[in-house]
């Protein structure tokens, strides 16, 4: 089975971190966010990947190359213009002639992907949207299902007066290749705003599968910082590099070639990025540098 990693967004809400790199390449505990996604896919024996790029594509290509160093095979697809989420996937249609999974390259999760795929297959779905519950659904797309988990309604970023569920779209989908007949070529087309409402209107087998586990959309600097806290607090288990031996701390990670002397005061959850230079008598608390 193939997976498509959506990695083409501009990441405007998390600037200035995305001024010099695409959002999926932002370091999370000194490893690109998208690398954590690749490792999650590999854990579930999904190693044939299509990476959809757009903004600063060479940063992704130069890091992952053909994927061999990471135990995967990568095909890169770069649309010539911004075509929206579903429109971008249309560009990769020739590589997707069997059931495939879609996942965002800028989120952090430990969902059991096999259970999602099994649910999709058992229900003979054309499309399955992975759902989860959140405390504040306003910034996400709310999804309503019936008892059989068939989707009955969408609310895209509703106001509090419209909220009738805390179940949201996580940006993880399982799709059949027949989905492409609903996606127009050379047209800006979005999964949430265009494709899924169209499938609902046409009474296609569109299902939502609620999943328990960790999920975070790293969409802004607050969420980025909280993701680091969650990792250090053990709320999600991801691979992280060991700290320098002279600066050991359970909530401290120091990247390669970073200059941070023992005299600096470090408190709380602190990540020092590669090649960072911490000068003077800096005091660092609950920060990502």
Structure tokens at 118: 């099994």
CATH 3.90.550.10 range(s) for the chain read: 2-221
Instruction: Identify the pLDDT of residue 245.
Output: 44
Q: Which CATH class, in words, describes the domain spanning 2-221?
A: alpha beta
Structure confidence at residue 49 (pLDDT): 99
Average pLDDT for runs of 10 along the chain of length 289? 90 69 86 95 98 93 97 95 93 97 96 98 98 81 90 74 75 98 94 95 97 92 88 85 53 68 64 70 71
The span from the CA of 264 to the CA of 281, in Å, is: 6
Beta strands in 68-205 (DSSP E): 73-77, 100-104, 107-109, 127-133, 141-145, 151-156, 167-175
Note whether 33 and 24 are within 8 A (CB). Answer: yes
- pLDDT value at residue 110: 96
pLDDT value at residue 263 = 47
Q: What is the pTM of this model?
A: 0.87
At 257 the pLDDT is: 66
Q: How many CA atoms lie within 13 A of 80 on its CB side?
A: 3
Q: In this structure, are residues 84 and 184 in contact, taking their beta carbons and an 8 Å threshold?
A: no
Q: Which two structure tokens, joined as six digits, stand for 168?
A: 């949201």
Q: What pLDDT does 167 receive?
A: 87
């Amino acid at each position: 089975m193939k997976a498509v990693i959506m990695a083409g967004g501009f990441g405007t809400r998390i600037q200035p971190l995305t001024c010099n790199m695409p959002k999926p390449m932002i370091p999370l505990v000194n490893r690109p966010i998208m690398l954590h996604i690749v490792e999650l896919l590999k854990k579930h024996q999904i190693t044939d990947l299509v990476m959809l790029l757009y903004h600063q594509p060479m940063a992704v290509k130069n890091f992952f190359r053909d994927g061999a160093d990471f135990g995967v095979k990568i095909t890169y697809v770069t649309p010539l213009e911004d075509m929206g989420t579903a429109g971008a996937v249309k560009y990769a249609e020739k590589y997707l002639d069997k059931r495939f999974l879609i996942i965002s390259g800028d989120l952090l999760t430990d969902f059991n992907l096999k259970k999602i795929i099994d649910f999709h297959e058992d229900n003979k779905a054309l499309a399955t949207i992975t759902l989860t519950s959140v405390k504040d659904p306003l910034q996400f797309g709310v999804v309503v299902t019936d008892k059989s988990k068939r989707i009955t309604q969408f609310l895209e970023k509703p106001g509090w007066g419209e909220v009738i569920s805390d179940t949201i779209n996580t940006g993880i989908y399982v799709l059949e290749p027949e989905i492409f007949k609903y996606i127009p070529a050379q047209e800006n087309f979005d999964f949430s705003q265009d494709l899924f409402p169209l499938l609902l209107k046409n009474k296609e087998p569109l299902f939502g599968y609620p999943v328990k586990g960790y999920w975070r959309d790293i969409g802004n600097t607050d969420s980025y910082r909280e993701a680091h806290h969650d990792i250090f607090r053990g709320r999600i288990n991801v691979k992280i590099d060991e700290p320098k031996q002279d600066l050991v701390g359970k909530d401290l990670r120091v990247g390669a070639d970073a200059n941070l002397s023992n005299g600096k005061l470090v408190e709380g959850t602190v990540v020092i990025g590669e090649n960072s230079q911490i000068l003077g008598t800096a005091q660092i608390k609950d920060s990502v540098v």
